[in-house]
Amino acid sequence: MRVVSLLLLAALAACTPGAPSAGSTGAAAATTTIDVSLTSSVVTATAYGSAGGFSPQVTTVPVGTTIRFVNIDSFAHTATSISGATFPASSPFSASALQLFGNTLSGGFTSGAIAAGASSQTLLADAPGTYLYGCFFHYGAPMRGAIVVH
């Protein structure tokens, strides 16, 4: 009777919505860190326009990766999404870039002002594509980067 009860319990758990599959390892998605530093940056020409202030300037990750921006400078920055296939010539940002928003790349995001030594929220690379972003304060420097999700 005890064996039958355990088998029944295991079968019910396997049918529970949201339960891990039998092949699931339960391993968390990898997190990729992008360093934010205008002072240690070198401007580079990319397929999207001039980039700098983020390292790496173009980050390539698989779907499911989480991204975190870490400010290693001594002053505030943002990491704010930009729509389009290339960096606009002038800043596309409004003051709303200073308010934390979003948790996926495809939904748009802004880290808000990341203080010196602090880090952003994590962002999920949820769909394939190229996601451009820049800093509200230093866009013209040019403080811009891209995340390519495959």
CATH number of the CATH domain containing 141: 2.60.40.420
- Does residue 16 lie in a domain region? no
pLDDT of residue 74: 95
pLDDT of residue 27: 52
Tell me the per-residue pLDDT of 70-88, one tens digit each, with 9 for 90 and over.
999 999 999 999 999 999 9
pLDDT of residue 41: 84
- Does residue 133 lie in a domain region? yes
Q: Which domain holds residue 65?
A: 29-149
Sort residue 122 into left (φ over 0), alpha (ψ -120 to 50) or beta. beta
- pTM of the complete model: 0.81
